Structure 1
Amino acid sequence: MPDIAARMAKRLLPAARALGLDDVGLCRATGIDLVTLEDAYGRVELDRTLDFIDALLAKTDAASLGLMFATTGPPDAYHTPALVMLASETLRDGFTRAFELQRLWGDGDRFALATVDGASAVTFQVPGTRRAAHEPLEVCALAETLLAVRGLTGRMDEVPVALGLPSLGAASEMVSSFFGIAPRLGVDRAFIALSADALDAPIPTAHALFQSIFEKQAREELEALPAEDDLVARVRDFVGRGLAAGSFGLERCAGALAMSTRTLERRLSDLGTTYAAEVEHVRKERASRFLREGRPIDEVAALLGYSERASLHRACVRWFDRTPGQLRDG
């Protein structure tokens, strides 16, 4: 079952109090441990968090709740991925690096840099089967992204190029007012498209040495986290070993794990993921690492199981909004 960082789940409490609800009682009702919420490195099951949000939605709408999370939650400026962003040269670089560390926020590749309708965008998706509680989290994620753009670059009047949400039950006018643009509804994955000027604008707090220190600290924190579900780890291990040989299909993996393909797909679905998503995860992580090591692009394509260089190019643009050459050259 996917987890999120306790420091993120802790944002639920002031929202509950603001809505006149008993935050402690809701924690007990949804199985969220109050002691865990006070642990800087604690983890809370995502489903318990979503159950808590469902209770909040009985008192308000998704748009209001999402913006409340984004603008009134506990400050997170000293969380290591945020420090990495503060020390990065540009937003594009900062987002790329922070998203590689996002398990410190929560399990799953929820955030990504991508291209949407020809524009660079930050996308966001909550793991698991869609439910009403996803809506405020999506609004919050996009709002925090815009606040980061404005705060890190000083471009306080920055307005997104485009905005998309899978759904929004009500109060879309409030979202339009906050972002300065009306959201497009019915998209597959929430996104906020940003101008190239904003993404490539220099961050005044950039510092290469500090960035290196913060990234090292973040990697150590990642290693200290509880291991992700053993099944996911075993699937990723199988994919990693089979990529270069082109031997990483679903049927082969299921056979290696001594289960049917249907069972493997069902168990991964229960964990909020799919086999294709795990292949993508392994390829994405290795592409970033291999290219930053300066390996030849054709070699990286082969190591990731791509039959042609163009496939790696398309994947890198989708994952990082950068070409393999741009990633390799820094």
Structure 2
Amino acid sequence: MIDYTVSSHMTRVVRDAALRAGVAHSELAHLPGLEPETLADPLLRVPTASLVRIWELIARNSPTGAGIRAAETAAQGRLHVWDYLFTIAGTFAEGCRDAARYLPTVTDPGVEMTVIEEDRRLTITYGIALYSPSAVTAIDEFAMALMLKRARDARGPAVVPVHVALAHEAPKNHRHLIEAFGTRSIDFGARANSMTFLDLDTEPPRLPGPDDELGVILRRYADGLLENSRPASGWHGRFRSEVAHALGEELSLELVAQRMAMSPRTLQRRLSDLETTWRDEIESVRHERAGTLLRETDLPVQSIAGRLGYTDARALRRAFHRWTGQTPDAYRRAILPRT
């Protein structure tokens, strides 16, 4: 499931915008999903919460026009297959429909894009989830400016919308938006972000050709991307996995740090950034692992205690009672199906 996640491509665009806005590397380093190996993998997805936090930091450092500037740097191709689906179609309307259908390849599946054709007008609507108030303005403006940029990539730099609606409240001055969108017809406080174009498909659709076959290939690729993408575990997930694997060994912070290719000091600092400690993490992993073994196996409590690194079953029983208010045996009885 990729709900509540966004693509690594989108994350790179917004992260780079944050760095240009003066956000410090240290403020980004602890966010889940921003590890270099995650951002380099098109199949790994970053928590939406991390992206929203980056937007909050951008808005704090650059309160006016941050979303517009971020969109300006999102050159064709930076958002991977979605960019090309938007721009290679035979008509602008077809490209918009493909962009709407495959929007989850770049952003949270909870975000919706719709395409409405009426007379000679085409309106793109882009609704966002409930983000923090400090981030919503930048996100609204980024989304609409990105749509306009792709429209210009597809139909030329002279494309100008006849109307723009933004969901956030009107700023004190929106001259930067007039300049970015090329129109004074901008409304605020709308129910959804939207942009309307007029007569972008005045020419008849071109005859079928190589681009149509390319479109088929790109759509198949996008389908595969959605099917095979997965949330990134991030360094914290890998850390907990390493702890779980080492529970029955001579568990130590030095051992886990070595397996994660970092120094013990760096590991402790990263845990501190997440407002947790080595001791708290060991407790949490043991609690989680104990519950799993009690639910999914018929191992005796003594064996489970050994797998969790306890000297005997009594130590596990004391810890489990502290975590749950129950003994391991009572917990197991409570979850067994009644016959």
TM-score by length of 1: 0.61
Asked whether the 8 Å contact 1:5–1:105 carries over to 2, the reply is yes
Q: 1:198 aligns with which of 194, 197, 200?
A: 200
Q: CA-atom RMSD, angstroms?
A: 2.7
One of 131, 134, 149 as aligned partner of 1:132:
134
Q: Which of residues 189, 195, 208 in structure 1 aligns to 2:192?
A: 189
Look up the equivalent residue of 2:10 and give its one-letter code.
M
C-alpha deviation, 1:124, in angstroms: 1.1
Q: CA deviation at 1:25?
A: 1.2
Aligned pairs (5 A) from 1:241-252: none
Contact 1:84 1:97 (8 Å CA) reproduced: yes
Q: Distance in 2 between matches of 1:136 and 1:203?
A: 36
Secondary structure of residue in 2 paired with 1:122: strand
Shift of 1:130: 5.5
**Gapped regions of structure 1 (runs ≥ 5):** 228-330
- Separation in structure 2 between the aligned mates of residue 51 and residue 169 of structure 1, nearest angstrom: 21
Counterpart in the other structure of 1:110: 112
Separation in 2 of the partners of 1:202 and 1:118? 13
Distance 1:17 1:95, change over 3 A: same
Structure 2 counterpart SS, 1:113: strand
Counterpart of 1:225, as a letter, is S
Max Rg structure: 2
The equivalences for 1:41-60 within 5 A come to: 41-60=43-62
The question of whether the paired residues in 1 share the 8 Å contact of 2:88 and 2:211 is answered with yes
Residue matched to 1:61: 63
Identity across matched positions, percent:
17
Q: Give the distance between the partners of 2:92 and 2:120, measured in 1 at CA.
A: 18
CA contact (8 A) 1:27 1:34 kept: no
TM-fit CA distance, 1:121 = 0.9
Q: 2: distance between equivalents of 1:2 and 1:114?
A: 26
Mapped to 1, the partners of 2:173 and 2:45 lie a distance apart of: 31
Post-superposition shift, 1:203? 7.9
Cα 1:103–1:200 change in 2 (3 A) is farther
Secondary structure of the residue that 2:196 maps to in structure 1?
strand
What is residue 3 of structure 1 aligned with on the other side?
Answer: 5
**Shift, 1:74, TM fit:** 5.9
Aligned to 1:207: 211
Return closer, same or farther for 1:13/1:81 CA change in 2, 3 Å cut-off: closer
Q: Give the SS at the match of 1:111.
A: strand
Give the counterpart letter for 1:19 in structure 2.
A
Q: Unaligned regions of 5+ residues in structure 2, if any?
A: 232-339
Change (3 A) 1:33 1:85: closer
Look up the match of 1:175: 177
Given that 1:160 and 1:179 are in contact with CA atoms closer than 8 Å, whether structure 2 keeps it comes out as yes
Compute the displacement of 1:11 (Å): 1.6
In the alignment, the residues of structure 1 paired with residue 51 and residue 94 of structure 2 have an alpha-carbon distance, to the nearest angstrom, of 30
Distance 2:163 2:21 in 1: 31
CA distances 1:147-175 after superposition (whole Å, capped 9, x unpaired): 22222112x22211101111244541100
| CA 191–130 in structure 1, closer or farther in 2 if over 3 Å, else same | farther
Give the Cα–Cα distance (whole angstroms) in 2 for the partners of residues 165 and 54 of structure 1. 18
